Amino acid sequence: MPTPSPGYAITVRCDAPSSATATSGLVAAVSSAGGAVTALDVVESHADRLVVDVTCDASDAGHADTIRQALADVPGVAVRKVSDRTFLLHLGGKLSVTPKVPMKHRDDLSRAYTPGVARVCLAIAEHPEDVRRLTIKRNTVAVVTDGSAVLGLGNIGAAAALPVMEGKAALFKQFADVDAWPVCLDTQDTEKIIEIVKALAPVYGGINLEDIAAPRCFEIERRLQEELDIPVFHDDQHGTAIVVLAALTNALRVVGKKMADIRVVVSGVGAAGHAIIELLQAEGVNQIVACDRKGAVHRGREGMDPDRQWIADHTNAQDETGSLAEVLAGADVFIGVSGPNLLTGDDIATMAKDAIVFALANPDPEVDPVAAGEHAAVVATGRSDYPNQINNVLCFPGVFRGALDARARSITEGMKMAAARAIAAIVGDDELREEYIIPSVFNRDVADAVAAAVASSAQAEGTASAGDELGFAAADAERLRS
């Protein structure tokens, strides 16, 4: 049975006999059903009965039902109701708008709104560059999706994607104090998405594309970056690639290998796989073989779309053919961004000595981490219940914080590599080991380090804009102060 997770936490309110063993019987029932009790609260006490809230983690929705039934089967116990704690957290959404300025009396209103706001509007009309300083634009990111590739759920549409985008926006604020807002578009037409995002861009300092299916995501990101003067970043591609590069940098430190010497097999040639390949090559990895459902991608294969053709032209110099398991033999590194249960422990055993395995499919990885660990030196997954979690939260808050602070017009390969190096450097030599190659997502130093590295890279490359000096508005404000 999969490990119980807070993502399937429930609270079961039970009537139980008033006895010294009542609560212990409830705990035993949950444990026997494979649940993990996290809290036990007696909310009412009567002469003949107790009302007890049992909070526990389950492994999935069906397991939660099994736990409820196990509690109901305890002699003398009646289940009143079951609350899904994940759904409770989402009631009413996870975001709100909070004013930064007071509006308690007429003077406040006259400055924040009419008539005073008109003067600020005219100042921006005369000096459009002042919009970053005088509005929310300087610290605001749009989290844009069309709902076509949401998590592992597939094409579920714009409305169903909103809870994920809300969560993304909350993470921006929590980890980097970036004000992000979900923009879920009810269209999957490439040209319409580009048109809409361009029309919305005046409000935002950056665009985070999210959960847009390949290959459309490549065209949308490319066109928007060409046509806008603010950074556009598809996190599913580049966020994943940055954190993978950071983790691989440290994993190679553990096993004593170098980027230029390793042979890497990548499973999955969609958005994430494509970006991982590009970033690894930029960092000096020369030997990469990519695989899709048909096996190794190579130049002699027919019927490839332009994106697969690019991969064929830029990887697999030896034109290897065969299945994923076949080309994996002898590889130093496996990176999976594809689907569940594609490999076995025996397949990992064919890899080179001190192999590195990143099995990142969620929730079920390409190979069982325990089986992989019997043969590989370092194993990482996308899950929080195993060591070495590869999680984009390590990346995107700091990347946008740095880009916004530098007023960057784009996010370059150099900025991505700087971000990866900053993440890797958080793990010191005294901490580095097989089970700890990447910092925790709750390490508060990560976002600051990434932001500083990204901003510095932007300035060094000349992709940053001029500072926040005001034109007319600054002179006017100074005159008023004097």
pLDDT digits (tens, 9 = 90+) for 454-476: 999 999 998 877 555 444 444 45
Residue 34, CA atoms < 13 Å, CB-side half-sphere: 14
Residue 95 has pLDDT above 80, yes or no: yes
Residue 126 has pLDDT above 70, yes or no: yes
pLDDT at 466: 59
Measured distance CA(335)–CA(245) in Å, rounded: 11
> Does the annotation mark 168 as catalytic?
yes
pLDDT at 482: 37
With tokens 């700087």, the residue in question is 418
Tokens of 54: 């049992």
Integer angstrom CA distances of residue 192 from 143, 199, 205, 222: 16, 10, 21, 15
Which of these is catalytic: 8, 137, 168, 416?
Answer: 168
Residue 97 has pLDDT above 60, yes or no: yes
Tell me the residue type at 233. F
Which of these is catalytic: 113, 173, 192, 258?
Answer: 113
As a whole number, mean pLDDT of residues 213-218 equals 92
- Tell me the per-residue pLDDT of 100-123, one tens digit each, with 9 for 90 and over: 998 899 999 999 999 999 999 999
> Does the annotation mark 113 as catalytic?
yes
Q: Is 362 exposed, middle or buried (CB count within 10 Å of its CB: 0-12, 13-18, 19+)?
A: middle
Q: Average pLDDT, whole number, for the chain?
A: 94
Ranges of beta strands (E only) in 67-133 are 78-84
pLDDT at 467: 55
pLDDT at 465: 73
The DSSP secondary-structure symbol of 17 reads E
pLDDT at 479: 35
Tokens of 62: 């069906």
Report phi then psi at 479, rounded to 5: -60, -40
Measured distance CA(212)–CA(130) in Å, rounded: 32
Residue 477 has pLDDT above 60, yes or no: no
pLDDT band at 1 (very low <50, low <70, confident <90, very high): low
